[in-house]
């Protein structure tokens, strides 16, 4: 018997550890509403410690009410209703202090089909976090609509004009209009690519295709792209350290990181944009710095968030997604990225990538 008691305590302790590892709040009750377990997340969300809740009645400890003031547990009525009922959809509920939580429940029956309710498992999610997520999605929709409107209006206007009055324009005028349409189509393509990247980063579905990458060559390519776009070649400086290790990275994503950081230096900074590549203990560090106003220390934590825009970026356009994507791409490689004040007074973005191998991917 003593061995069985010990085994039971071990199992109970293991179950407690498991539910405490869950990211969402979890409350478990019996069919009568007596609380059997409360995990760490639920205690944090409700400010009710597990030791104050376990063994007590659900409606006393967690008196959830809906927007009309009705008691949620009483309406749940685990012993009543159809015997086929097993799930209660998630809905916003309130605690007496006014805090909003999203609450769902599952009725565990024995036997599973049409049996008596043995336990009720209740999950809790932070209503504030849900509201922030919804605002973020609304901001994304608003940004996309704003960024798409201008190029699509241009494309529609020029194509309609050319179709209606093709013979009235010279070849040079047609070429200028078609070049504008082509450039605006590229803008739309870039925006769609950014949105897909954001989706993959947030869902954890970003895939890497690693190969040996020559980082100095990719940096030179990023500079050449800005020069081709009309910047003076003298505005850029590349500094390459000695004994760089072999780097297994996703070349396309490295190009994307460097292009975004160089464009950020051109758009928001002044003076020379410097790319410095050097070997560090566990890989390679790449710094991209400008000589502009830089980023204030209190703003540094916000720089890599979605829709962050600094300085005069609103006047010069941009979705505010570029640095968020850069951070996601760097971290997908197992690297880190920071922003600080550059020696010349501007902003310095520094990312470090581990050497990696094909097996690391």
Question: Rounded distance, CA 170 to CA 173, Å?
Answer: 5
Higher-scoring residue by pLDDT: 337, 230: 337
Q: Which helix (H) or strand (E) holds 93?
A: strand 87-94
The mean pLDDT of 332-359, rounded to a whole number, is 85
Asked if residue 229 has pLDDT above 50, the reply is: yes
Segment 212-240 shows an average pLDDT of: 93
Domain stops at, among 127, 147, 175: 127
Pairwise CA distance, residues 339 & 299, whole Å: 10
Residues 85 and 145 grouped into a single domain: no
Residue 10 has pLDDT above 70, yes or no: no
Mean pLDDT in residue range 84-98: 86
Which pLDDT tens digit goes with each residue over 284-334?
A: 999 999 988 888 877 787 888 876 666 544 444 556 788 989 999 999 999
Q: Do 235 and 327 sit in the same domain of this protein?
A: yes
Residue of higher predicted confidence among 317 and 215 = 215
Of 33, 117, 114, 34, residue with least CA distance to 79: 117
Q: Say yes or no: 309 and 341 in one domain.
A: yes
Tell me how far apart the alpha carbons of residues 305 and 296 are, in angstroms, rounded to a whole number. Answer: 15
Q: What CATH number is given to the structural domain containing 326?
A: 3.30.565.10
Residue at which a domain ends, from 145, 172, 203: 203
* Same-domain status, 42 and 159: no
Domain count, the chain: 3
> What pLDDT does 296 receive?
81
pLDDT of residue 8: 42
Q: Are 275 and 305 in the same domain?
A: yes
pLDDT tens profile 110-168? 888 888 899 999 999 887 666 666 666 777 777 677 778 888 888 999 999 999 999 99
**By the 8 A CB rule, do 124 and 41 touch?**
yes
Could you identify the residue written with the tokens 């690693």? Answer: 210
Give the mean pLDDT of 71-85.
85
Label residue 361 by pLDDT band (50, 70, 90). Answer: very low
The CATH number of residue 86's host domain is: 3.30.450.20
State the first-to-last Cα distance of the chain, in angstroms, to the nearest integer. 51
Tell if the pTM clears 0.85, that is, is over it: no
Say yes or no: 59 and 197 in one domain: no
Distance CA 264, CA 222 (A): 12
pLDDT at 83: 80
pLDDT of residue 69: 86
Mark whether 310 and 192 lie in a shared domain.
Answer: no
Tell me: do 349 and 225 sit in the same domain: yes
pLDDT at 14: 44
- pLDDT beyond 90 at 26: yes
pLDDT at 313: 43
- Regarding whether 193 and 107 lie in a shared domain, the answer is no
In this structure, the answer to whether residues 13 and 103 fall within a common structural domain is yes
**CATH classification of the domain holding 164:** 1.10.287.130
% of the chain beyond a pLDDT of 90? 45
Does residue 106 have a pLDDT over 50?
Answer: yes
Domain containing 187: what range?
Answer: 131-203
Residue 23 pLDDT grade (very low, low, confident, very high; cuts 50, 70, 90): confident
Whether residues 246 and 313 fall in one domain: yes
Co-location of 18 and 109 in the same domain: yes
Task: Give the model's pLDDT for residue 133.
Answer: 65
Is the pLDDT score of 16 beyond 70? no
Show which of 77, 97, 127 is a domain's final residue.
127
């Amino acid at each position: 018997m003593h061995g069985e008691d010990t085994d039971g305590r071990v199992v109970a302790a293991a179950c407690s550890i498991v539910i405490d590892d869950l990211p969402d709040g979890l409350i478990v009750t019996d069919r009568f509403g007596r609380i059997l377990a409360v995990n760490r997340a639920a205690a944090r969300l409700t400010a009710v410690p597990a030791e104050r809740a376990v063994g007590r009645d659900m409606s006393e400890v967690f008196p959830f009410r809906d927007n009309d003031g009705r008691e949620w547990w009483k309406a749940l009525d685990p012993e009543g209703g159809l015997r086929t009922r097993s799930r209660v959809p998630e809905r916003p509920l309130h605690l007496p202090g006014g805090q909003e939580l999203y609450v769902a429940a599952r009725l565990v029956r024995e036997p599973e089909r049409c049996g008596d309710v043995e336990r009720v498992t209740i999950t809790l999610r932070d209503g504030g976090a849900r509201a922030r997520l919804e605002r973020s999605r609304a901001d994304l929709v608003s940004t996309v609509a704003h960024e798409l409107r201008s190029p699509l209006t241009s494309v529609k206007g020029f194509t309609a004009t050319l179709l209606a009055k093709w013979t009235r324009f010279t070849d040079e005028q047609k070429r200028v209009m078609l070049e504008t349409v082509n450039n605006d189509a590229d803008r739309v393509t870039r925006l769609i690519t950014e949105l897909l990247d954001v989706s993959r980063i947030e869902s954890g579905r970003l895939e890497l295709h690693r190969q040996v990458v020559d980082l100095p060559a990719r940096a030179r390519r990023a500079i050449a792209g800005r020069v081709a776009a009309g910047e003076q070649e003298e505005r850029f400086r590349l500094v390459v350290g000695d004994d760089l290790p072999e780097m297994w990275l996703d070349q396309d994503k490295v190009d994307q990181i460097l292009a975004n950081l160089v464009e950020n230096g051109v758009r928001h900074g002044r003076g020379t944009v410097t790319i410095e590549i050097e070997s560090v203990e566990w890989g390679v560090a790449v710094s991209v710095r400008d000589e502009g106003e830089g980023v204030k220390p209190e703003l540094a934590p916000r720089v890599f968030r979605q829709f962050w825009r600094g300085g005069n970026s609103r006047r010069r356009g941009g979705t505010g997604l570029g640095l968020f994507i850069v951070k996601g791409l760097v971290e997908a490689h197992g690297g880190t990225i920071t922003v600080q004040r550059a020696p010349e007074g501007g902003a310095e973005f520094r990312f470090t990538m581990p050497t990696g191998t094909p097996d690391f991917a």
